[in-house]
Structure 1
Amino acid sequence: MTQPSHRHPPTPAGHGRRTYRQLVFGAGLTSFEVVCQQTDLLVRADRPLEAQTRERVLELRGQIEGYIRRYPDFATTLVPWRADALAPEIVRNMIRAGNAAGVGPMAAVAGAIAGSVGRHLLEHSRQVVVENGGDIFLKTDRPAIAGLYAGHSPLSMKFGIQVAETGDGVGVCTSSGTVGHSLSTGRADAVCVVAHSCALADAAATAIANRINAPDEIASAISIGRSIVGVLGIVAVCGREMGAWGQVELVPMQGKKG
């Protein structure tokens, strides 16, 4: 499930091969992919959990799609959605995240699915990494580094965001106005947000990316992103410029191995 989009930016070389799927951390985890319609996950866990992952994805997609059938505007609105105590949990997470960031709930859908799948898999594995279209849920025993993919920017994959402590799970989500098919009103090559809630990280990344149309707007967009309650750290890239704030440590990617 993807966000509604009114335009399709050029796809950078390598994007079709999931170039951004370069997450670096300690060896020893099993990797597998699960694809259910538009949801395409890369998962790393202590052991193969394809069946549990697929079952959870189908459940979550069914809940979101059922809500959209009931409220069609939910799928297309670009503004916060009213709270709904009777909605499925994943829908409530999307609504809360969108409201916190000032965007529509579908801006949080990829992160919400990654986070919900990741927390479900923690019932079967001590360590879990779930990547969904560049949005990542992390729960690892050691520091993790998520490579920062920024399309044609010369800074793309030159740096990674190191997460020293993942606690009981953390979201590392990226939005772009130049990569992929998700809706963005800005031209940022990448905005990556770290938050305990994967849904919030996704929605906040969208909100911040929407405000960057040129490198000189990075600082002001990050300043606004800092005001979103629950955001722990931000990295933004536009062209040759980069800005960062909060609980993020940038490390060079050269020589890293996944």
Structure 2
Amino acid sequence: MTIALPNTPSFDLSGKRALITGASSGIGLACATALARAGAHVTLVARRGDQLKALSDAMTAEGLVSDVLPLDMTDIPALADALLERPAFDVVVNSAGLARHTPAIETKAEDFDAVFSLNVKAAYFLFQLAAQKLLDAGKAGSLISISSQMAHVGGLDRAVYCASKHAVEGFTKAMAIEWGKQKIRVNTLCPTFIKTELTASTFADPEKREWIESHIKLDRIGEVEDLMGAVLYLASDASAMVTGSSLKVDGGWTAE
């Protein structure tokens, strides 16, 4: 008897174009590197043009292909102009985000607006614009938000941040339903606390670090490398049947 073995889906992104926001540091930089090493031409987006140029130069030195797009994601007209003048992106990873942590009773309207402007409004219209280009081109695509474990739980001093990430999970599901027949997949990647320059002050506080470590069942802080395989999975054909989902890379935080 002859048994036909199934083929493992490909993680190869050769010939694909990927746009990564928040690419100048931390999680965004790691995601951009992962997709570039898988063969994608990556467009690096952030406000800090000098950081983007340095990253692009480092990629070029490794034989990777990239270009830079200095942009404030909250400027929706500028974002629209930038995407409309470019071919459709096969992969979009939105890693741009903002957190302003305070007790809920002390939340200021300007902080609420700033967090929602970037984490929700800019993310929503980025995906709308990217999907429109894919629909016009008749192409499949993968749209990925770097969300958070806090999109599934609550946390002290994080009412605004949690609300914004719960909102991202909501529009992710709705967009996945709306664009599924056109083979445009929409998912979130939900990390735990990851060691980056933005979280350095949090980890430097012994009380906060103890609280974090007490919730991570794998008993260690997350590293950006922990997300690179996950984002490649969601970007590639390996996840061809995955949409409207949240991939949690949280060390077991939300298992409680």
- TM-score using structure 1 length: 0.29
Greater strand fraction, Structure 1 or Structure 2: 1
Normalized per residue, the structure richer in helix is 2
Q: TM-score, normalised by structure 2?
A: 0.29
